[in-house]
């Protein structure tokens, strides 16, 4: 006896049976497959997002560093300094076997000698690039203590401002007062707004001629552009030679103990040509 079976029905039934015995399509495996698929897709997305964010942050940081010089060059005085000094400074650096442009600089000043030194880091040590004359003096030896005393600070500072539109041509701000200054003073107002600037005038700053501030300002911009966030400025009353110690400690006995702390940092740098990690203990600077 023959049973007539429709071809369409046979085909459908066969396919259904085939599907029901295919392990990859069982309900449990379907859930596992979806879980794996989601894990693969979403895990990949998370990794892609993480890598993208990391790349974006690194790129943004690089652009921020690279753009500091470009930002400064938008100001006519900085552009003028760059056009006048860039080539000659590079030539001077190369003649002294110093890498150009500078990646890290250090400034130290001496009030009695009226000198400002600009050092450049090469490897693990600093090398003296140039000594600039401070063209005017203000006050006497000894630290600044209050607003209006016309004193140039003494101690260890950082550059905290670049002013390309200064009333004194170009200026670099010093972060006076620091913690030690605030501990030492008894005045309600210890003063502030201490700069290395041009125009050769001062009531407590470190003034330069306009030609010299162009060089110093440009070198500081280049160092900041290379990624140096902390540009240190150390200001001493004088160079701590035996003769100077004998002379000035006799003239200014009240500053002798304070100057001893400054001398220790001065001698450390003279010996190692490295900036020490200076610590503060209330109103004193100390070496670790």
Whether the Cβ atoms of residue 193 and residue 152 lie closer than 8 Å to each other: no
- Please give the torsion angle defined by the CA atoms of residues 98, 102, 108 and 111, in that order, rounded to the nearest 10 degrees: 90
Chain centroid to Cα 29, Å, comes to 58
What is the CB neighbour count within 10 angstroms for residue 130?
17
Q: Report the run of H or E that residue 220 belongs to, with start and end.
A: helix 210-225
State the Cα–Cα distance between residues 157 and 178, nearest whole angstrom.
7
Residue-by-residue DSSP string for 98-130: --SS-S-EEEEEETTTTEEEEEEEETTEEEEEE
Residue of 211, 213, 219 lying closest to 105 (CA atoms):
219
Report the SS3 class of residue 144: coil
Which is catalytic among the residues 18, 135, 197, 200?
A: 197
State the Cα–Cα distance between residues 66 and 70, nearest whole angstrom.
7
Report the SS3 class of residue 152: coil
The answer to whether residue 197 is catalytic is yes
The answer to whether residue 25 is catalytic is no
State the Cα–Cα distance between residues 258 and 284, nearest whole angstrom.
7
Which is catalytic among the residues 200, 205, 234, 255?
A: 205
State the Cα–Cα distance between residues 204 and 150, nearest whole angstrom.
5
Instruction: Name residues whose C-beta falls within 8 Å of residue 68's C-beta, 6 or more positions apart in sequence.
Output: 221, 224, 225
Instruction: Name residues whose C-beta falls within 8 Å of residue 145's C-beta, 6 or more positions apart in sequence.
Output: 151, 181, 184, 185, 186, 187, 190
Which residues carry out catalysis? 197, 205
């Amino acid at each position: 006896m023959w049973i007539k079976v429709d071809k369409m029905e046979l085909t459908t039934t066969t396919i259904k049976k085939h599907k029901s015995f295919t392990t990859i399509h069982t309900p449990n495996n379907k859930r596992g497959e979806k879980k794996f698929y989601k894990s693969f897709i979403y895990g990949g997305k998370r990794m892609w997002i993480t890598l993208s964010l990391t790349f974006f942050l690194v790129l943004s940081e690089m652009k921020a560093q690279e753009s500091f010089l470009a930002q400064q060059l938008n100001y006519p005085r900085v552009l003028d300094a760059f056009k006048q000094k860039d080539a000659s400074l590079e030539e001077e650096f190369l003649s002294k076997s110093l890498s150009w442009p500078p990646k890290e600089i250090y400034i130290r000043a001496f009030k009695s000698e009226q000198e400002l030194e600009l050092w450049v880091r090469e490897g693990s040590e600093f090398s003296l690039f140039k000594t600039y004359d401070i063209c005017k003096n203000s006050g006497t030896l000894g630290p600044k203590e209050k607003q209006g005393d016309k004193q140039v600070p003494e101690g260890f500072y950082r550059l905290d401002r670049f002013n390309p539109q200064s009333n004194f041509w170009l200026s670099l701000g010093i972060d006076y007062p620091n913690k030690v200054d605030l501990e030492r003073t008894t005045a309600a107002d210890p003063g502030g707004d201490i700069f290395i600037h041009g125009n050769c005038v001062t009531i407590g700053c470190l003034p330069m001629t306009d030609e010299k501030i162009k060089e110093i300002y440009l070198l500081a911009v280049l160092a900041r552009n290379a990624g140096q966030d902390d540009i240190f400025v150390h200001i001493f009353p004088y160079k701590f030679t035996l003769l100077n110690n004998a002379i000035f400690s006799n003239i200014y006995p009240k500053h002798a103990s304070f100057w001893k702390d400054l001398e220790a940092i001065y001698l450390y740098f003279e010996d190692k040509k490295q900036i020490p990690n200076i610590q503060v203990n209330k109103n004193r600077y100390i070496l670790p």
